[in-house]
Amino acid sequence: MADTIRVLILGGGFGGLAVARELERVLPRSAAVNVTLINRDNFFLFTPMLHEIAASDLDITDIVNPLRKMLRRTHLFTGVVEQIDAERRVVHVSHAGGAHGHDLPYDYLVIALGATTNFHGIAGLGTRAFTMKSLGDAIQLRNRLIEQLEEADFECAAGMRRPLCSFVVAGGGFAGVETVAAMHDFLRGAARYYRNLGPNDVHVTLVHSGAVVLPELGDALGRYTQMQLAKRGIDVVLEARVAAVDDISVTLSTGRTVPASTIVWTAGTAPNPVLETLPCDKKNGRIVTDTCMRVCGLERVYALGDCAYVPDPVTGAAQPPTAQHAIREGVRLARNIAAELRGEATVPFRFSTIGLLATIGRRTGVANIFGVNFSGHIAWWLWRTIYLSKLPRFEKKFRVALNWTLDVLFSKDLVQFQTRRT
């Protein structure tokens, strides 16, 4: 092993960032340890607020933090992980659009690459659907919503007005419900500024394969959510899946066809394809680890977050793929790596979910905190309070709080962001 120990962290999401920040905290400055974080973007995205970007509740930079401002001693490599060579203990990475490749050696490897979107092989869905996993996704969806309203407002578009003003969100989990509620509020509020449109011209449909939305929160809160969404005019379709899509319609597994030219897909995830060739055990594509997040069969390789199957020490079931788990997994893993460097024993990861929250539009929410259910305005207030406290850096907290305050006084912005050159 080299005199300087090289720690590579793949992925700058909740888990990977937590590992890097905790290593900076627990390792002394004099330690001969070089920590490098590899991430596709040069920023950390606070995904719980992503739907608020799409619905024009927040500015596009409010929920992103530059990684170089968050990390003091960690080296940042902004690029793409191409392959992990576990035999040679090297990670192949590229940058500049793939024009430049590098082999980065490691002594300790942390895999926190998250998950990608799974379109389940539905023809045309990958090219037509909008997703909600990145900042670019949210900006594209916001532009699409405004673009459809602008197009539908022309008198010559009267015959196409229904599919132009109809939107389908597939997936009744947290991302789908929060996105459909935010979209509906934005579209209904924006429609009154278009001469040939009105709020009743907007049609929003939520498609969910289960019997109740938000199944993680239980039947009671799921039914309450469905009732609130339906009361506002959102068509909630249960026990159905998207079967086919084209430019002007979405066909469901029940045979029903929804005339809509926009579909938002939040109904499936898949592990990062980089992990496919990694020589280790996997469950449903997720890397199997022990309770200390060590990858079984690979020396000094660890995995956490959405891409890892980290067993609960008591039940043996996988830790849930949530941000609150990923953050705490990252902290525990950093401490375990530091303990190994000191020749000390590692500690298994133990954590129970504190609570789950979701906003469902119109200053309404649902939440389960320590087993107690909340709904209505108080749950919405809890959502905003808790997530604002979790948002990194005071500067971003202040900007978000300010924008939320201004949102009470002014209507949502209808500016369509164009990134093409003049």
At 236-288, the pLDDT tens digits run: 999 999 999 999 999 999 999 999 999 999 998 888 999 998 999 999 889 99
Question: Crossing angle, helix 174-191 and helix 135-152, to 10 degrees?
Answer: 30
* Whether pLDDT at 1 is above 70: no
* Whether pLDDT at 208 is above 80: yes
**Average pLDDT of the residues of the chain:** 95
Tokens of 263: 């579909």
* Whether pLDDT at 2 is above 60: no
* Whether pLDDT at 421 is above 80: no
Q: List the beta bridge partners of residue 190.
A: none
* Whether pLDDT at 381 is above 80: yes
φ, ψ (nearest 5 deg) of residue 214? 50, 55
Say how far residue 30 (Cα) sits from the centre of its chain: 36
Q: Which residues contact 54 (CB under 8 A, 6 or more apart)?
A: 132, 137, 138, 139, 141, 142, 145, 179, 182, 183, 186
Residue 273: exposure state from Cβ atoms within 10 A (0-12, 13-18, ≥19): exposed
Contact 280, 288 (CB under 8 A): yes
Q: How confident is the model at residue 138 (pLDDT cuts 50, 70, 90)?
A: very high
Residue 355: CB atoms within 10 A of its CB come to 15
pTM: 0.94
At 24-61, the pLDDT tens digits run: 999 999 999 999 999 999 999 999 999 999 999 999 99
DSSP result, 285-327? TEEEB-TT-BBTTSTTEEE-GGGEE-B-TTT-PBPP--HHHHH
Say how far residue 242 (Cα) sits from the centre of its chain: 21
Give the pLDDT score at 184.
97
Give the pLDDT score at 57.
93
At 82-129, the pLDDT tens digits run: 999 999 999 999 998 888 999 999 999 999 999 999 999 999 999 999
Question: Crossing angle, helix 377-390 and helix 394-409, to 10 degrees?
Answer: 150
Domains and CATH numbers, the chain: 5-40+79-117+270-341 (3.50.50.60), 125-267+355-409 (3.50.50.100)
DSSP result, 10-36? E--SHHHHHHHHHHHHHS-TTS-EEEE
Q: Give the C-alpha separation, 38 to 97, whole Å.
A: 15
Q: Helix, strand or coil for residue 97?
A: coil
